[in-house]
Amino acid sequence: MDTGSNLKKIQKTSDKKIVFFDLDGTLCKGLSQSYLVHHLFSKRKVTTGFLIIISIWAFLYQYGIFKNPERIIKFACRITKGWLVADLTRFIENFFNQRLVQMLYPELITILNKYQEEHHVTVLITNAVRPLAEVIGCRLDFDFVIATELEIVDGIYTGLVSGDVIYGIAKAKAVRKFAQNQEYSCELLAAYSDHISDLPLLEMVQNPVAVNPDPMLRKIARDRKWNVLDCNKKIPSKK
């Protein structure tokens, strides 16, 4: 893991064509980190007050009222304080199996698998924290993960973010650094995202795809004749 450049090499590859996938609203319905907080609450790992704050933020962000998630992500990262790295990974693996896997868009998984079958480099790029993004990246067989890093001291999370929250311009900077660090010439083939904040990333690639785009991104995609993919997935009821 190279925390300085915010990437995790999962699988060695020499393919030169790279495809980027956003997570929330693109690969999965809704906000993965919000789902994780709800799962933590169900296991009595966070308080009701904490859950209410995150739920309100998720609502405001999804409806475009709250624009930049950096502050709330840093706030939410407090829940990792005191967790052993291995313990949190196991907890998130169970969360993925029990909850998050149900929220994945089958259409996007099919597209991802097609790129993988063609031996392109696939990169999960998200503002989600690395412990969550890494589990998802491994389960979906991504080659790399670029995510928000958390500070670790002696194998224990401190509850603090290390470096930038991977959002907006920071995503584009992370992609440039990622490409520069490769040992081969990179062709930025495609990127998939739902949110206008990822416009700098989408503008970097040959084939930008707007997935379930917000109104601003939809208009830009239509004006620039980018591909638009609308997925329809109902959130399963809790049992």
Residues in the chain: 239
Strand partners, 24: 28
**What CATH superfamily classification does 7-229 receive?**
HAD superfamily/HAD-like (3.40.50.1000)
For the chain, the structural domain boundaries read 7-229
Instruction: Give pLDDT, residue 172.
Output: 93
Instruction: Give pLDDT, residue 70.
Output: 84
CA distance 28 to 30: 6
Token pair 């450049």 is found at: 5
The set of residues, in sequence order, having a beta carbon less than 8 Å from that of 159 and lying 6+ positions away, is 77, 78, 79, 80, 81, 82, 150, 151
Residue 14's pLDDT band, with cuts at 50, 70 and 90, is: low
Quick one: DSSP state of residue 237?
P
pLDDT in tens, 168-222: 999 999 999 998 887 766 789 999 999 999 999 999 999 999 999 999 999 999 9
Instruction: Give pLDDT, residue 184.
Output: 66
CA distance 124 to 116: 13
pLDDT in tens, 80-126: 999 999 999 999 999 999 999 999 999 999 999 999 999 899 999 99
Cα pseudo-dihedral 100, 143, 195, 221, rounded to 10: -130
Torsional sign, CA 40, 45, 46, 52: positive
